[in-house]
Homo-oligomer: A and B are copies of this chain.
């Protein structure tokens, strides 16, 4: 096939963003244009909504390096609902430049189910992530300047927990020493950089419901501890106003469109393995004001993004999904069934059958939350009828709704079957329940996630994490939800344990309180908060063509 996402995007007819806004009921004065095809929405200027739309959450089985097309299905489902004359808005995350330059080349859906203008969205978009990077690093500079200028707050340089960030995959910055070179160059100390999308400010931006809430959350962020081990916050430094100023435009949701002209709100972009993995609450709630149905996705498998969507994002927003779609592919099932990536093109329905255990666990997880999921079996050209039949037969036997989707090639048309099932689910009230209460002990909350979501046996805390837990309790920070940092490839904390591992114990290496975001990050396994680039970064294929157009964004 000579089509690429980029070539399809370039051939597509894109409408002026004012037209898209108009179709979504957004008045011109609530729009701040960024070129002809992107706009920020000034939420304060929107008409009040009579009621809020229903929410369809798209999640997936445990992903594989092959890619399952979750964003593609999310976009295709929205376009299909539009074809069925529903009032619909799709709400996605903003791509991080790190993976775009590293492995992905792009993250805006694919084929005939993508958002436009894909070049801009994949590069700097409207600058939100740059604003977050800037605010994060301004805070770091204020902290180091405070140390340098006399350290009135008695901050212990060894106990500064605030890290710098870049929106790049840059492993050499994971662990650094700063302030070298003598007394004029600051105070030497150990430091490190995370990727911006793993930063607390990204989470804060994604969970704030107003500018005031944003400022209050920024003020509450803990940046480290004094020599007496008292927490030091942004409020103590007095810079929450400056940080809010740097973020005031970034807080406004961005409006773009799908290739079929469905309004798309793309805003906020935390990763789901090392952060909470959902687009912004502002975006989802804005979308709910504009449409009867909002289709949104959460990152990676249901063990990561969906779990955090339920326990962190929608809990803050006081809502829950009205329907859940789990995306699966024959290729991913084969990998979970033991096939190596290089052999995926060979038909192997036995491997598909063996791999279904992974999908089955995610179905069980969504049912644990009281929601009956729908499986979207996303077709690839290499899938054989025999392989597809394996999955379809299993779903029938288990009485799970399943639809084949072919949205990459067909756009919304390829998602009509899925859309019809989703509409039925939306008409059926569900019995949603959280799997833990915020007031439960940290150990109970962890156990709930490990046992009910991961299907593991138990959880254990490293010595470091145990000491941190004692501190957390001392400060009264233990009544917060958990944000697990775990590999996306396995239900366990071992990336190579595919399928449905059982009897495993999850080890919590470290617990990092994020008081601004309002959750406790629990690091498991070898998970890194700053990725690295591969041997052949995607950037090597990127270029600008003769007419100034992007080349090499897939």
Contacts and interface: CB of A to CB of B under 8 A. Distances in A.
B242 A172 contact: no
Interface string A385-406: 0000000000000000000000
Contacts of A179: 171-172, 175
Interface stretch (A131-139, A276-284, A413-421): A131-139
Contacts of A141: 101, 166, 168-170, 172, 533
A35 B41 CA distance: 11
Interface in A520-554: 532-533, 535, 537, 539-544, 548, 550-553
B167 A134 contact: yes
B149 A535 contact: yes
A512 interface: no
A533 B184 CA distance: 12
A166 B144 contact: no
A203 B97 CA distance: 23
Nearest to A189: B172
Contact of A245 (B40, B169, B244, B550): B550
A252 to B, nearest CB: 9
Contacts of A246: 123-124
B185 A533 contact: no
Contacts of A97: 134, 138
Nearest to A214: B544
B177 A137 contact: no
A245 B6 CA distance: 14
A190 to B, nearest CB: 8
A319 interface: no
Interface of A: 32-36, 40, 44, 97, 101, 123-124, 127, 130-131, 133-134, 137-138, 140-142, 144-145, 147-150, 166-181, 184-187, 211, 215, 238-239, 241-242, 244-246, 248-249, 532-533, 535, 537, 539-544, 548, 550-553
